[in-house]
């Protein structure tokens, strides 16, 4: 997942991925370019959508980084 990329590369993004991918936070919220959003292999699950609803500055191309593979 995108969260794995952040963790495995020691990227210092403060607070990113607080729940470690258990879809109980929205700290991994990312806003994608429309062309990148369209290329994702899977749509957001109901669980992801529920958590995205709590994300700050939600957009049409928002996703949770821990759910992007």
**Cβ 3 vs Cβ 28: under 8 Å:** yes
Least separation in angstroms between residue 56's CB and ligand FES is: 13
Kindly indicate which of the ranges 12-20, 30-38, 39-47, 55-63 contains the residues binding ligand FES, using the contact rule CB under 6 A: 12-20
Size of the site for ligand FES (CB under 6 A): 14
Rule CB under 6 A: is residue 3 a binding residue for ligand FES?
yes
CA distance linking residue 31 with residue 59, whole number of Å: 7
Using CB under 6 A as the binding rule, the residues of this chain from 14 to 53 that contact ligand FES are 17-19, 21, 23-28, 51
Q: Give the closest residue to 49 by CA, choosing from 40, 60, 37, 33.
A: 60
């Amino acid at each position: 997942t995108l969260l794995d990329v952040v963790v495995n590369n020691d990227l210092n993004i403060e607070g990113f991925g607080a729940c470690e991918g258990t879809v109980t936070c929205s700290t991994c919220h990312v806003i994608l370019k429309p062309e990148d959003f369209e290329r994702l292999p899977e749509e957001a699950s109901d669980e992801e959508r529920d958590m995205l609803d709590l994300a700050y500055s939600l957009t049409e191309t928002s996703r949770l980084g821990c759910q992007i593979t």
